[in-house]
Amino acid sequence: MSEVLDLVGVGIGPANLSLAALADPVEGLATAFFEREPEFSWHPGLMIEGAFLQVPFLADLVSLVEPANPLSFLSYLRDRGRLFPFYFAERFHIPRTEYDAYCAWASRQLDSCRFGRQVRGLSIEDGLFRLDVEPGGPVLARNVVLGVGTAPSFPAPLAALAGPAVLHSADYLPARDRLLTADDVTVVGSGQSGAEVFLDLLRSRPSDRGHLRWLTRTAAFAPMEYSKLGLEQFTPDYVRFFHGLDEPTRDRLVPSQWQLYKAISAETIGEIYDELYRRTVDGGWPRVSLSPGVEVTTATRRGERVELGLRHVQQGGAASVTTDAVVCATGYRERDLGDLLGPLADRLERDASGRLAVTADYRVRADLPGALFVQNAERHTHGVGAPDLGLVAWRAATILNAVCGRVVYPLPDRTAFTTFGLPGGGG
């Protein structure tokens, strides 16, 4: 435990991997990043064939801050001898499998990335952070960045039944074979993951097999906002504006922006419709149901099957269905950092709802000797862009500039045509 590191990252998803890539060329900065999994792996349970990244390839680990960094996506293609095929493919959006392979490649270039190491807890020792890393023992650091991602979230009535018959979409692929042969399958949730799971099952299950059902509490199967001006809500300008609002206003705003993060890409909606249409060619309606405005209110195990109590949000009224398997594509929630931050917990500032108070440069307001930063745990303070890959490099550079106490990476003052707030900054 002799060396004291300047910066230690907990977790290696895209967020901390971007930080590791941008920190690598900074001379004299001693860093290490710890990941509990044995290698980089990006949402493996949802790596459905044919699924694409929802952001352009320029939202790689570094390019929106420093395109000349050797770990850009274009550098990856050069390393693999694939620049010409990529050029002729003319694809701004790459397959998810390719993004995963690119990140895995980047992680192998970085000595600072240590896999198969879980951080069990943080404490303070001699004015430094002490991280208990297993295996490997304690590590001392001046600054820490938590990039531990989010955890799958189940609707309350289904949480207690989680298991082989009620699974989260995060675990879809290992269960896929079983879902293809089950008689009656229900997908709950109409975000991008729900749509991808429904489409995959629709395409792959024989058309005469039982019933495929898609339920969502949302009033419609709605398209994701993807207009150019709409996307400016994923710029640093918008993040700054959002961060400057008061807490009740921020809390009202996020749910009203659901079509920015909870909806379905127009392409996937098109693919689902085309597949449904294809199944009517021989006459008759496909053996599927798509029901918006329907909420699961109860879930009861009936032998191997599950009975779901349903309520229509607008109509009222109740119904029930019995199904062999439920896939909850019901999103993710921020991780409970209680275990990790245990002894530090009462030194951290919280907002009126008990959430961490996070400054504009992603530092948790705290009475600590060094700085504790978070990535992708700050939707309540920084808005809907918190998990967005397009902001990953900019956020990492913001953190690095703060850690180094100087402008290591110059960042643009302006990133949107839209003026968020009153003109002239009078807001």
Ligand X SMILES: Cc1cc2nc3c(=O)[nH]c(=O)nc-3n(C[C@H](O)[C@H](O)[C@H](O)COP(=O)(O)OP(=O)(O)OC[C@H]3O[C@@H](n4cnc5c(N)ncnc54)[C@H](O)[C@@H]3O)c2cc1C
Q: Residues 73 to 132: which contact ligand X by CB under 6 A?
A: 118-119
Report the candidate in 422, 418, 395, 406 with the shortest Cα–Cα distance to residue 146. Answer: 395
Q: How far apart are CA 197 and CA 201, in angstroms?
A: 6
- Does position 54 bind ligand X by CB under 6 A? yes
Among the listed ranges 143-151, 225-233, 364-372, 413-421, the one in contact with ligand X (CB under 6 A) is 143-151
Candidates 19, 130, 149, 166: give the one binding ligand X (CB under 6 A): 149
Tokens of 373: 């930063």
Is the distance from CB of 402 to CB of 41 less than 8 angstroms? no
Considering the complex, state which of residue 110 and residue 321 has its C-beta at the smaller distance from ligand X. 110
**End-to-end CA distance of the chain, in Å?**
49
Q: What x-and-dash track marks residues 274-293 binding ligand X by CB under 6 A?
A: --------------------
Is the distance from CB of 273 to CB of 265 less than 8 angstroms? no
Burial class (CB in 10 A: 0-12, 13-18, 19+), 246: exposed
Q: How far apart are CA 397 and CA 69, in angstroms?
A: 12
Considering the complex, state which of residue 340 and residue 393 has its C-beta at the smaller distance from ligand X. 340
Among the listed ranges 4-12, 315-323, 353-361, 393-401, the one in contact with ligand X (CB under 6 A) is 4-12
DSSP classification of residue 394? H
Candidates 25, 26, 30, 43: give the one binding ligand X (CB under 6 A): 43
- Does position 36 bind ligand X by CB under 6 A? yes
DSSP H or E segment with residue 243: helix 236-243
Shortest gap between Cβ of 238 and ligand X (angstroms)?
A: 14
Q: What x-and-dash track marks residues 176-195 binding ligand X by CB under 6 A?
A: -----------------x--
Shortest gap between Cβ of 121 and ligand X (angstroms)?
A: 9
Unique residue bearing structure tokens 């900065």:
29
- Does position 13 bind ligand X by CB under 6 A? yes
Candidates 9, 14, 155, 236: give the one binding ligand X (CB under 6 A): 14
Shortest gap between Cβ of 146 and ligand X (angstroms)?
A: 8
Q: How far apart are CA 294 and CA 310, in angstroms?
A: 6
- Does position 236 bind ligand X by CB under 6 A? no
Q: How far apart are CA 332 and CA 24, in angstroms?
A: 30
E-strand ranges in 313-361 read 316-323, 325-328, 332-334
Site size toward ligand X, by CB under 6 A = 30
Please tell me whether residue 257 adopts helix, strand or coil conformation.
coil
- Does position 394 bind ligand X by CB under 6 A? no
Q: Residues 330 to 389: which contact ligand X by CB under 6 A?
A: 340, 375-376, 387-389
Please tell me whether residue 19 adopts helix, strand or coil conformation.
helix
Among the listed ranges 49-57, 74-82, 221-229, 271-279, the one in contact with ligand X (CB under 6 A) is 49-57
CA atoms within 13 Å, Cβ hemisphere of 301: 10
Would you tell me which residues interact with ligand X (CB under 6 A)? 10-16, 34-37, 42-43, 46, 53-55, 118-119, 147-149, 193, 340, 375-376, 387-390
